[in-house]
C-alpha cells in the first residue's frame, strides 16, 4: 500500500484583508484538496470552504471518476447556494485535488482540477505541472498568441474560463500518475506561482525534507515576492510505494545480467545454433550441422559457358507458355466479388448508425440549447444555436430591457456571437448577471467603482469568471 506524508500552509498575503483560500488534508483517506475562492462580500470564502467540504464528503470510493463526480457535486452546491442568497451572488472558486486510488498494477495518484489552482509533481529533481490552467491567458498562450513572458504580466491573467459555481454543471479535468518513493506532489493557489518561479519552487521542494517546512517556506517566499494574493500550499510526499521502485530496479538489473550472460556464449556454439536456425544459449554445446546440398543431373548442366550463336543443352521453353488461351486475369472479377463480405456490410451499417446518432444529437442539441445575444440594440434570449444548425433556425424567446451600450466591450463581443447556455434557467441566470454588470457601469460603459464584476472571455461561447480581487478586468 502506498504511504504518504503531507504538510500545508496558508496565508492571507500582504494585500488582502480576507483569506478566501481553503484546504483540506484527509490523511486517513489519502485525499488532499485546495480551493481559491472569489466573489463579493465573503462569497469567495464561502465558495472555497463549501468546495473542500463537499469533495471530502462526496469523494466516495477511491477512483478518479468518483473524485471528478465529487467536484461536480461541489459545483452544483455552490451554484445553488449563490442563487439562493443575494449576498453570495456571483461567487465561485477554483479547486484541485489528489487521492490515492487502486490501479491495474498497484496504487496510483488520481488528480483533478478546475480553474487556475495548480498541481505539480517533483520527480528526479524535475518539476512537472500536471494540471492545466482554465484561464483566458492560458488559452492565448496555448494558441500561440502570447509568449510565456507576456502571459506572466498580462493584465487579464486573472480571468478564468472555468470555475465552480458559475454554471449548473462544470467539466472537470483529471488523470492518474503511478507514484514512486520520493515523488512530491504540490497543490497550490495562484498566490504561490504568481510570486515564486518554478525554479524557486523546485529548489524549496528539493532542499527541505519535511513537507510542512517546505510548505511554510514556499508561503514565506511568496510573501517576499509581493504577497499580492492569498497563498495556500499543500505538499504531499510518497514515502513508500509498496515496493514498486525496488521491483523496477530488480527488473532492470535482471535485464542487464541476461544481456551479459548471453554475450558469454561460445563461438562454436553460436555458429552451430546459427546454422540450425536457432539462438545460442550460454553453456550449451551445439553439434555442427552439415549444409544441405541438392545434386543436379549432369546432363542438365551445360559443359561450359554459352556464347553468342551457340545452343545451350538446356531445353527450350514451351511454345505454348503464356499463350492466348491462358487467361491471366480470368479470376480477377471473382476475387473482387469476394471483397463484398458480411464484414463490409457490418462496417457500412456501423458507419450509418454513427451518422444517424451524430445527426440526431446535433438536432436535439439545436432544439434544446439556449443562447443570449442581441436583437437590435437590446439583449435577447433565443432557443437554438447561434446562426442555426442544419434546417433548424433559432427562435426568439424574449427581448430584455438591457441595452448594448450598458455593457462593457468584452461582453458585447461575446453576445455578438451568441452566449450558449444549457437550459432556460441558465439563460435566466445569465440575464441576472448581465443586469448586475449593467448597473455597475456608467453611461459610457466604464466601471462606477474600482471593484470589478465577473466578466467573460473574448472567446465565443466560453463561460468566464473574473476574480473580484482584480481591478483591471472590467474592460477587455
Please enumerate in sequence order all residues whose Cβ is within 8 A of that of 256, keeping only pairs 6 or more positions apart, or say none. Answer: none
Residue 326 lies in a domain: no
Residue 336 lies in a domain: no
Average pLDDT per consecutive 10 residues, the chain (476 residues; last block may be shorter): 96 96 97 92 91 97 97 97 91 97 95 98 97 92 86 82 95 97 97 96 98 98 97 98 82 63 40 36 36 39 39 41 40 45 76 85 73 91 80 86 87 87 85 80 52 41 45 34
What's the confidence (pLDDT) of residue 119?
98
What's the confidence (pLDDT) of residue 310?
39
Q: Which of 200, 215, 246 corresponds to the end of one domain?
A: 246
Residue 118 lies in a domain: yes
Region class of 461: left (phi > 0), else alpha (psi between -120 and 50), else beta: left
Residue 46 lies in a domain: yes
Structural domain containing residue 160: 3-246
Measured CA to CA, the distance from residue 411 to residue 219 in angstroms comes to: 36
Q: What b/e readout covers 329-365, taking b as 16+ CB neighbours within 10 angstroms?
A: eeeeeeeeeeeeeeeeeeeeeeeeeeeeeeeeeeeee
Residue 262 lies in a domain: no
**Grid cell 480470368 — which residue?**
330
* Environment class of 471 (CB within 10 Å of its CB; exposed 0-12, middle 13-18, buried 19+): middle
Domains in the chain, number: 2
Measured CA to CA, the distance from residue 174 to residue 421 in angstroms comes to: 24
Residue 139 lies in a domain: yes
Secondary structure (H, E, C), 394-435: CEEEEEEEEEHHHCCHHHHHHHHHCEEECCHHHHHHHHHHHH
- CATH number of residue 239's parent domain: 3.60.40.10
DSSP state of 305: P
* Cβ-contact 6, 237 below 8 angstroms: yes
* Cβ-contact 379, 415 below 8 angstroms: yes
Q: Which of 205, 225, 246 corresponds to the end of one domain?
A: 246
What's the confidence (pLDDT) of residue 6?
98
Same domain? 99 vs 237: yes
Q: Which of 217, 246, 275 corresponds to the end of one domain?
A: 246
Tell me the whole-structure pTM to 2 decimals.
Answer: 0.56
Residue 310 lies in a domain: no
Residue 387 lies in a domain: yes
Q: What b/e readout covers 226-235, taking b as 16+ CB neighbours within 10 angstroms?
A: ebbbbbbbbb
Nearest by Cα to 452 from 472, 432, 434: 472
Dihedral pair phi/psi, residue 393, rounded to 5°: -95, 145
Amino acid at each position: 500500500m502506498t504511504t504518504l506524508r503531507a504538510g500545508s500552509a496558508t496565508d492571507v498575503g500582504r494585500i488582502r484583508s480576507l483569506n478566501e483560500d481553503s484546504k483540506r488534508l484527509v490523511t486517513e483517506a489519502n485525499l488532499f484538496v485546495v480551493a481559491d475562492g472569489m466573489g463579493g462580500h465573503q462569497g469567495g470564502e464561502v465558495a472555497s470552504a463549501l468546495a473542500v467540504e463537499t469533495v471530502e464528503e462526496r469523494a466516495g470510493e477511491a477512483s478518479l471518476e468518483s473524485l471528478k463526480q465529487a467536484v461536480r457535486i461541489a459545483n452544483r452546491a455552490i451554484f445553488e447556494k449563490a442563487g439562493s442568497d443575494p449576498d453570495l451572488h456571483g461567487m465561485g472558486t477554483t479547486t484541485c485535488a489528489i487521492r490515492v486510488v487502486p490501479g491495474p498494477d498497484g496504487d496510483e495518484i488520481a488528480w483533478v482540477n478546475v480553474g487556475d489552482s495548480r498541481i505539480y509533481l517533483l520527480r528526479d529533481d524535475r518539476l512537472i505541472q500536471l494540471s492545466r490552467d482554465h484561464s483566458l491567458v492560458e488559452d492565448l498562450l496555448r494558441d500561440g498568441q502570447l509568449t510565456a513572458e507576456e502571459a506572466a504580466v498580462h493584465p487579464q491573467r486573472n480571468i478564468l474560463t472555468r470555475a465552480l459555481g458559475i454554471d449548473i454543471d462544470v467539466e472537470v479535468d483529471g488523470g492518474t500518475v503511478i507514484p514512486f518513493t520520493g515523488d512530491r506532489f504540490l497543490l497550490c493557489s495562484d498566490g504561490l506561482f504568481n510570486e515564486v518561479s518554478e525554479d524557486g519552487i523546485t529548489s524549496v521542494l528539493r532542499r527541505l525534507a519535511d513537507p510542512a517546512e517546505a510548505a511554510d517556506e514556499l508561503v514565506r517566499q511568496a510573501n517576499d515576492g509581493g504577497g499580492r494574493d492569498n497563498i495556500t500550499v499543500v505538499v504531499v510526499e510518497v514515502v513508500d510505494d509498496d515496493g514498486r521502485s525496488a521491483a523496477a530496479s530488480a527488473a532492470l538489473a535482471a535485464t542487464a545480467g541476461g544481456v551479459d550472460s548471453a554475450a558469454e556464449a561460445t563461438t562454436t556454439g553460436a555458429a552451430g545454433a546459427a546454422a540450425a536456425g536457432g539462438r545460442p544459449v550460454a553453456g550449451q554445446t551445439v553439434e555442427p550441422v552439415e549444409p544441405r546440398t541438392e545434386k543436379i543431373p549432369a546432363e542438365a548442366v551445360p559443359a561450359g559457358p554459352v556464347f553468342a550463336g551457340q545452343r545451350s543443352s538446356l531445353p527450350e521453353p514451351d511454345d505454348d507458355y503464356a499463350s492466348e488461351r491462358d487467361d491471366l486475369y480470368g479470376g480477377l472479377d471473382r476475387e473482387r466479388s469476394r471483397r463484398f463480405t458480411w464484414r463490409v456490410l457490418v462496417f457500412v451499417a456501423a458507419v450509418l448508425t454513427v451518422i444517424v446518432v451524430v445527426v440526431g444529437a446535433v438536432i436535439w442539441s439545436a432544439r434544446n440549447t439556449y443562447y443570449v445575444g442581441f436583437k437590435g440594440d437590446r439583449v435577447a434570449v433565443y432557443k437554438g444555436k447561434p446562426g442555426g444548425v442544419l434546417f433548424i433556425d433559432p427562435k426568439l424567446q424574449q427581448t430584455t430591457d438591457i441595452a448594448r451600450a450598458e455593457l462593457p466591450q468584452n461582453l458585447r463581443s461575446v453576445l455578438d456571437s451568441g452566449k450558449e447556455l444549457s437550459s432556460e434557467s441558465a439563460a435566466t441566470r445569465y440575464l441576472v448577471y448581465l443586469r448586475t454588470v449593467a448597473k455597475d457601469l456608467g453611461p459610457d460603459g466604464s466601471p462606477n467603482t474600482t471593484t470589478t464584476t465577473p466578466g467573460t472571455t473574448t472567446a465565443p461561447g466560453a463561460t468566464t469568471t473574473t476574480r473580484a480581487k482584480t481591478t483591471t478586468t472590467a474592460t477587455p
